Amino acid sequence: METINAEQKTNYFKELTLNLQRGGFTVGLELDGILPVELDGQRLCQITDSGGVRYWKEDVASDKLEAALDKATDIAKVTAEYMRLVEAAPRLTVGSLKGDYRTLAEFNDTVLVGHPTSLGMQFISWELTNNRSSLYQGHYLGPGAGVGSYTAAKQDFAVRSGLIPKKALFTPEQMMEIYYCCTDVLAGLYSITDEQQECLKSILEQIEHGVPDFDERLQKELNASDAPDSDGMRFC
């Protein structure tokens, strides 16, 4: 983020706090432009008002903590990105629309807006109709899903506006099934080369970042496989 004023800093830390909490982190009070972040009662990192992340090596001395740091860093980066865009975006003035709606993107009579709320940022895509004088069929994403709302909103806009053909994208459900199958292969159920193994690992990482509510979906699957009437077996 570029240099920001006091109001922008306050808005960023408020939004970031909500997103980190939804991601399972504990957030302390901001002091002198620094937001402390903890995981399971232990210090993890500090996030600056510019979206930067500071940490101590001894605080991320395990794979779990490194993964948590990566997640917190991603949340800080994405939150900083869309807050900067929303701050600079013009207000959408169409028909009788009232409130703070900022135009983030527009293409082929489709518009993507950011709408600040007390519960966090909401993203909406609308079709512009009647010579751009009215809005039609809004797709609402967030608040409540953290930075995943922003990721999903961009994809929704790209498809609705025709920037990307719908068939060129996998649904979250399809991506999760691909994830499970790749996991099974990497677990040693099949013989693969080192190159194939690295490729599958990159696919897993891409899906982890590409599915907005990945953690929730994975936990739901794990809970289902642990159920008494389930043998945990999957087929690809």
The verdict on residue 191 lying in a domain is yes
Q: Is 169 helix (H, G, I), strand (E, B) or coil?
A: coil
Residues 143 and 193 in one domain: no
As a whole number of angstroms, the distance between CA 15 and CA 35 comes to: 12
103, 110 Cβ separation under 8 angstroms? no
pLDDT digits (tens, 9 = 90+) for 62-114: 999 999 999 999 999 999 999 999 999 999 999 889 999 999 999 999 999 99
How many structural domains does the chain have? 3
Residues 94 and 146 in one domain: yes
The verdict on residue 1 lying in a domain is no
**Structural domain of 45:** 6-87
As a whole number of angstroms, the distance between CA 180 and CA 202 comes to: 14
Inform me whether the pLDDT recorded for 169 exceeds 80: no
- Strand boundaries in the chain, DSSP class E: 26-27, 34-39, 42-48, 53-54, 102-107, 110-117, 120-129, 134-141
User: 135: number of CA atoms within 13 Å, CB side?
Assistant: 18
What's the pLDDT at 51?
Answer: 93
As a whole number of angstroms, the distance between CA 13 and CA 34 comes to: 9
What's the pLDDT at 228?
Answer: 60
What's the pLDDT at 154?
Answer: 94
